[in-house]
A and B are shown apart, each in its own frame.
Chain A
Amino acid sequence: MGKETMNVELAVVGGGPAGLAVAAKAASYGVQVTVFDENERPGGQLFKQIHKFFGSKEHQAGIRGHDIGYSLLSQCEEFGVKTMLNTVVWGIEKNMLGIQNNGRTYTIKTKKTIIATGASENPLCFPGWTLSGVMGAGAAQTMMNVHRVQPGQKALMVGSGNVGLIVSYQLLLAGIKVAAIVEALPKIGGYMVHAAKIRRTGVPILTSATICEARGENEVEEAVIASIDEKGNVMEGTQRVLPVDLICIAVGLRPLAELCWMAGCKFMFLPVLGDHVPIHDENMRSTVKDIYVAGDVAGIEEASTAMEEGRLAGIAVAEELGYLGSEEADEKKNLARKRLESLRLGPFGDTRAEAKRKLTESEVNR
């Protein structure tokens, strides 16, 4: 490891919604927090989420993602959170992190570490999927909403979950035509309110349909779509060619949990949460001493859930480090857990709540 060593009381890896929420919360009780993030600026994927959030008022419903990002950043600033940007955390062992900044390597000694590294988009393989112009829906979202560049002129969206629906609408807002949304399942995956918004614009949402092929010389020039039967086989004669230069893939996310694996955390395979997920207790503590997890890395959910998990972990860490009495901490943690529960209601939330219970109730935690 590196020659230069720094001491950090609480290291937060990842400056997205979960990481910033942990940082602001823990720092508000007096914990010395440093956030490490690979990017030029913090906020993770919040700044590309220009839609209004869901839930109740206490979950900041009705506020757009990027505004929530700005408010988290100002809270972090207010409580003296340090940030190290353009910094890759490439290694972790017990209470040590290996980081790289501007070509130099350092060792960080920590009392507690929070891994809040988020998620990455799932790819989807089909002939032509490597052509330029096939990209993650989130990638297109980053390009248009954060960098203000159109990733194409006419798009096909693959997947009708909330990401597929919301990004389709945002493509339209960015002046990009959307030829269609295809969904392999017989029904739309995301919330009806998002689907309705799309349908009002006249964009067709084709269920029991898939992409067969992307064609083009160097870049996408057209997409072949078709209907599929219950077994997922293409129905002959239903193929259609759409002239598009952008194909967005919105088929789910998976936790970016490399550091958790490296640290030796125990995992559980929970498809509803995206893949193998690090097991954690109801304080967001992983199975490795002094390492916590929060947000999508601990199971794919939403930014609101990620922030709530972050706050919960922040309180738990502040308590363990002696900045909060156990009575006060319990009260605050219970409130955070209640808010998490209310975010996991309804047909979409129930299965996630159940999977999360499997994690927190796992005997590995004891």
Chain B
Amino acid sequence: MRIFYHPILGKLEEKRKITLEVDGKKIAAYEGEPIAAALLAAGIRVLRMSPKREEPRGVFCAIGRCTDCVMIVDGQPNVRTCVTPARDGMKIQTQKGLGKWAKKL
């Protein structure tokens, strides 16, 4: 959920609204926010399944170090969604294991 009003930071600044496609479903996002933040706001917290045991993973460090939040973005696997800005029309997929490259990017 978004924090529209914050007692110290005030009202949420209006940014350009965009649409992302996550596993075929459309969600609303703000341009430039990290993909992972947009997903959290939409209530999506499982971002990938681990390679060996297929266990769910989500945001862990949020500074682009741990790579727990990697997903397939526009056909490219292993994109760190916590530090990758959301752009209109991005196609995002939950990554299974190491992910696969789309045939044509």
Interface residues of A (CB under 8 A from B): 38-40, 45, 50, 64, 120-121, 123, 130-136, 138-140, 142-145, 147-151, 153, 173-175, 218-219, 256
Contact = CB atoms under 8 A, between A and B. Distances in A.
A151 B59 contact: yes
A151 B40 contact: yes
B20 interface: no
Contacts of B83: 38-40
A143 B40 contact: yes
Contacts of A150: 1-3, 40
B32 A143 contact: no
Contacts of A135: 58-62
Interface residues of B, number: 36
The B contact surface, by secondary structure, is: loop
Given A120-B65, A130-B55, A150-B2, A136 B60 contact: yes
A329 B20 CA distance: 53
A142 B58 contact: no
Task: Kindly list the 5 A-B residue pairs having the minimum CB-CB distance in the complex, ordered from nearest.
Answer: A132-B58, A139-B62, A147-B37, A218-B56, A142-B62
A136 B69 CA distance: 13
A149 B61 CA distance: 15
A147 B33 contact: yes
B8 A64 contact: yes
Given A45-B63, A123-B66, A147-B34, 14 more contacts: A130-B50, A132-B45, A132-B58, A136-B60, A138-B62, A138-B63, A139-B60, A143-B59, A148-B3, A149-B40, A149-B41, A173-B7, A175-B3, A219-B46
B57 interface: yes
A153 B4 CA distance: 15
Contacts of A143: 36-37, 40, 59, 62
B85 interface: yes
Contacts, number: 97
A149 B3 contact: yes
Contact of A148 (B9, B32, B58, B62): B9
A69 to B, nearest CB: 13
A136 B82 CA distance: 13
Contacts of B47: 132
A251 B80 CA distance: 24
Contact of A149 (B1, B56, B57, B85): B1
B94 to A, nearest CB: 11
Given A131-B56, A143-B59, A143-B62, A148 B12 contact: yes
A120 B63 contact: yes
A50 B9 contact: yes
B25 interface: no
16 contacts: A40-B32, A50-B8, A132-B59, A134-B60, A138-B62, A139-B61, A139-B82, A140-B62, A142-B63, A147-B33, A149-B3, A150-B1, A150-B40, A173-B8, A218-B45, A218-B56
Contact of B61 (A120, A148, A175): A120
Contacts of A130: 50, 55, 57, 68
B64 interface: yes
A174 B63 contact: no
B103 interface: no
A131 B57 CA distance: 6
